[in-house]
């Protein structure tokens, strides 16, 4: 089972919306997907209540010690991908999510304040030696601020592609209990999220292959 964690200590970065969008996009090939909501705000649980579909499965936790058990149970059920949505305020939960993740996504809005705010999260990820990528989220159509943000994030680590624009479809989908790829299949927002999921999947597979390669060459 692949584990993808969305993490940042900056509130309002769009973690929950991206978690839902990516999880639903990942279901496009019929794979079983789950979301672990480690955020007391409950945005994803409320979204699930509005959703007339059993998947993605949503497991809500508040105790850091529950993350490991939740992941074990989901894998035993045949879950292929689990997306962990973390809170901006619960550092213990976020740290455990980072430790369990095959890949961490750090959503960042294109502003200096948002870029500066991700530094503690980045330090934690590097301390735990986890793979990560930034996602420029809620971006304007164009402008020098977007280019400057991309340059800054590239200097700090890997920047996922594409950028995810500020579009009404994301909030409309959340309110309707849908993923953005279900709300408007041909829309630009849907296209961006599908592209982002393809980028993420490639990184997850590469990480899995690297792990297998290291395991085979490790001394007995």
Is residue 104 classed exposed, middle or buried when 0-12, 13-18 and 19+ CB atoms within 10 A define those classes? buried
- How far is residue 35's CA from residue 12's CA, in Å, rounded to a whole number? 19
Of 1-5, 98-102, 110-114, which gets the smallest average pLDDT?
Answer: 110-114
Mean pLDDT of the chain: 91
Domain housing 41:
2-212
Measure the N-to-C terminal CA separation of the chain; round to a whole number of Å: 26
Q: Which CATH number characterizes residue 145's domain?
A: 3.40.50.300
| Tokens matching residue 182 | 């279900």
For the cut 50, the answer to whether the pLDDT of residue 204 exceeds it is: yes
CB 97 within 8 A of CB 38: yes
In whole angstroms, give the CA distance from residue 15 to residue 151: 22
pLDDT tens per residue across span 133-187 = 999 999 987 767 788 899 999 999 999 999 999 999 999 999 999 999 999 999 9
pLDDT of res. 23: 98
Number of domains composing the chain: 1
93 vs 217: which has the higher pLDDT? 93
In a domain, 31, yes or no: yes
Q: Is the model's pLDDT at 220 over the cut of 50?
A: no
**Residue 220 domain-assigned?**
no
| 3-class secondary structure, 55 | coil
Q: Would you state the structure tokens that stand for residue 84, as one six-digit string?
A: 């962990």
The verdict on residue 217 lying in a domain is: no
Task: Evaluate whether residue 219 is within a structural domain.
Answer: no
Is the confidence at residue 88, as pLDDT, over 90? no
Task: Give whole-number Cα distances, 169 to 84, 152, 165, in Å.
Answer: 22, 28, 10
Least confident of 40-54, 123-137, 139-153: 139-153
Tokens matching residue 183: 């709300």
Do the beta carbons of residue 16 and residue 175 sit within 8 Å? no
- Please state, in angstroms and rounded to a whole number, the distance separating the CA atoms of residues 74 and 176: 26
The stretch 179-208 carries a mean pLDDT of: 95
The sign of the dihedral angle between the CA atoms of 174, 168, 22, 24 is positive
């Amino acid at each position: 089972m692949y584990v993808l964690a969305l993490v940042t200590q900056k509130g309002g970065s769009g973690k929950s919306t991206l978690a839902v969008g990516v999880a639903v996009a990942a279901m496009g090939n019929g794979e079983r997907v789950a979301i672990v909501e480690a955020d007391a705000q409950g945005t994803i649980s409320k979204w699930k209540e509005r959703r007339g579909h059993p998947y993605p499965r949503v497991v809500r936790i508040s105790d850091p010690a529950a993350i490991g058990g939740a992941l074990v149970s989901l894998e035993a059920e045949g879950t292929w991908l689990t997306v962990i949505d973390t809170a901006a305020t619960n550092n213990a939960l976020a740290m455990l999510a980072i430790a369990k993740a095959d890949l961490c996504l750090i959503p960042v809005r294109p502003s200096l304040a948002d870029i500066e705010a991700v530094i503690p999260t980045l330090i934690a990820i590097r301390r735990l030696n986890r793979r990560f990528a930034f996602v420029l989220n809620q971006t304007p159509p164009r402008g020098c601020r977007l280019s400057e943000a991309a340059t800054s994030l590239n200097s700090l680590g890997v920047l996922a592609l594409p950028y995810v624009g500020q579009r009404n479809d994301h909030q409309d989908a959340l309110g309707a209990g849908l993923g953005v790829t279900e709300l408007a299949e041909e829309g630009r927002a849907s296209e961006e999220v599908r592209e982002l999921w393809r980028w993420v999947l490639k990184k997850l597979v590469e990480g899995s292959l690297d792990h297998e390669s290291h395991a085979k060459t490790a001394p007995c």
